[in-house]
Amino acid sequence: MTWWREAVVYQVYVRSFADSDGDGVGDLDGVRSRLGYLELLGVDALWLTPFYTSPMADHGYDVADPRDVDPVFGDLAAFDRLVTAAHEHGLRVLVDLVPNHTSDRHEWFRAALDAAPGSPERARYHFRPGRGPDGDEPPNNWSSVFGGPAWTRVSDGEWYLHLFATGQPDLNWTNPEVWADLEKTLRFWLDRGVDGFRIDVAHGMSKPEGLPDSVAAVRTGLLTGGRDGDPRFDDEGVHDVHRMIRAVVDHYPGRVTVGEISVQDNARFGRYLRPDELHLGFNSRLLQAPFTATAVRRAVEQSLASTAAVSATPTWALGSHDVSRPVTRYGGGEQGTWRARAMALLTLALPGTVVVYNGEELGLPDAEIPDEALQDPQWERSGHTQRGRDGFRVPVPWEGGAPGYGFTTGVPWLPMPDGYGRLTVAEQLEDTRSSLSLLRRAVELRRTHPGFTGTDVEWFGAPVGCLAFRRTGSTLVCALNTSTDVVPLPPGDLLLSSRSLDDDLLPPDTAAWLA
């Protein structure tokens, strides 16, 4: 069963989706209460960001117990209710898996701190003596993705490795206990009925022996890791971890794994998608491409090249909880909105799986968050030079005209802007020209129109600043105009456009589907 090859997956940032109990934080019962909306949207599956027990140093990507639910999100019974209800709505459920690190409140890390250097408790993580005469310099020169050194010193003088926040110690994947524990976690959720996993930092886990200094200057940042010469990521040993995961998942037919793979080289990226590793993988090419036909075409071509070599299915995303929202990235305001709509049509025309991040269907821009309300660890770790990701994690506005907007009856965990009223789900469902209506129609056509076949694309000649492609062997053509001129459309009957045509011509910042 390969339902995921042409699926639309909706990313639910659980904290920000729907709050059922008025504490201002989204939760699992909240997600369940909105399944009807996801069914209406026509998506095939939802991916839930981490809802496990966590002190929330990185909003759940610091997991203290991977086999339990944090009380802020509900409990295991709420999870079971959600999975049952989702399946009744015809929606599959993917959960996030965080195998690279734990929380510093995980019982293993607490035990490691209580134990002596060299103990088995410390051997589940990367503890090392420091450098310099007093050992007061970090064991190597690696930096944390969130800024600052990747090492923190503990009271007896040893240091521990954390590629992300201080509260996210990296696990030692040469330790068999670490493998056994992940296997247990996989079975735990598979036995509860999940349909697959999104795997966090899928290019992490394994570290080079001896943890050598990085020779090349390494850039920090979530999207820019994994470049050549960065010893922190993409170590050969990681592929054995994926083979183990796949072997477990293969016992449960129809389940899928999708990795976050921040590896820039196409051939190295593709290796994660070999037949005995991950089914799908995100890359960050479209997330980083500016709104120009050249950059977009290049991102698509590179992504297709990275999967074609291993006959894998490409995965497309324009946003996530880690990157500025498309409307803002493409320039903001009305123009940013038109461009984001155009790019949504482009991704939904491509062969493969498409992931839509909650709020993207509403055309939400990034929100401005005042300094005192910022929560992302990036803000503190960068010495207040990077504002972090809170602006694109603001709760989803469902209805009404005042902050809360049907997301919560309490105070939302991040302030919701005053101007969200016109962007709410309720408003947009009523308006056939809204971003939400466009996405619904596009997802519906993608599911019902016979043109959405073919696993590759053929490019056509197009006016300067434009691109046009057809899915191989099919009649579906997608044209995108990133120029400032109105341009003629390729031949064919118009199926859908991201903005009204201008006398049968394609306006700037617009995409169209023809068949």
| Separation between Cα atoms, residue 161 and residue 234, nearest integer Å | 17
Q: Which of residues 142-201 bind ligand NOJ (CB under 6 A)?
A: 164, 200-201
Of 98 and 511, which CB lies nearer to ligand NOJ in the complex structure? 98
Convert residues 25-64 into a mask of x (bound to ligand NOJ by CB under 6 A) and - (unbound).
---------------------------------x--x---
DSSP for residue 125: B
CB 414 within 8 A of CB 15: no
Of 28 and 355, which CB lies nearer to ligand NOJ in the complex structure? 355
Of 321 and 470, which CB lies nearer to ligand NOJ in the complex structure? 321
Of 61 and 469, which CB lies nearer to ligand NOJ in the complex structure? 61
Q: CB 58 → ligand NOJ: shortest distance, Å?
A: 5
Q: Site for ligand NOJ (CB under 6 A): how many residues?
A: 10
State the residue for tokens 């201002």.
Answer: 24
Q: CB 323 → ligand NOJ: shortest distance, Å?
A: 9
Of 34 and 389, which CB lies nearer to ligand NOJ in the complex structure? 389
Q: CB 96 → ligand NOJ: shortest distance, Å?
A: 8
Residue 146 sits at the vertex; the CA angle it makes with 211 and 366, to the nearest 5 degrees, is: 150
The residue among 285, 279, 320, 284 whose CA lies nearest residue 300 is 285
Cross-strand partners of 481: 466, 510
| Separation between Cα atoms, residue 337 and residue 363, nearest integer Å | 6
Q: CB 21 → ligand NOJ: shortest distance, Å?
A: 24
Distances in Å between the Cα of 120 and the Cα atoms of 114, 117, 163 are: 12, 9, 22
Q: CB 165 → ligand NOJ: shortest distance, Å?
A: 8
Judge whether 121 counts as a catalytic residue: no
From the list 27, 44, 195, 200, the catalytic residue is: 200
In angstroms, the first-to-last Cα distance of the chain is: 29
Which residue minimizes CB distance to ligand NOJ? 61
Of 106 and 321, which CB lies nearer to ligand NOJ in the complex structure? 321
| Separation between Cα atoms, residue 280 and residue 392, nearest integer Å | 24
Convert residues 440-479 into a mask of x (bound to ligand NOJ by CB under 6 A) and - (unbound).
----------------------------------------
CA 192 to chain centre: 23
Q: Which of 260, 277, 360, 509 binds ligand NOJ (CB under 6 A)?
A: 260
* H helix and E strand count, the chain: 14, 20
From the list 260, 322, 390, 427, the catalytic residue is: 260
SS3 state of residue 38? helix
Convert residues 307-326 into a mask of x (bound to ligand NOJ by CB under 6 A) and - (unbound).
--------------xx----
* Residue 234 binds ligand NOJ (CB under 6 A): no
Q: CB 308 → ligand NOJ: shortest distance, Å?
A: 26
- Those residues whose C-beta lies under 8 Å from the C-beta of residue 424, and which sit 6 or more positions away, are 362, 397, 398, 399, 400, 405, 406
Q: CB 330 → ligand NOJ: shortest distance, Å?
A: 21
Q: Side chain identity at 180, as an amino acid letter?
A: A
SS3 state of residue 177? helix
Judge whether 209 counts as a catalytic residue: no
Q: Side chain identity at 273, as an amino acid letter?
A: L
By CB under 6 A, name the binding residues for ligand NOJ. 58, 61, 98, 164, 200-201, 222, 260, 321-322
Show which residues are catalytic.
Answer: 200, 260
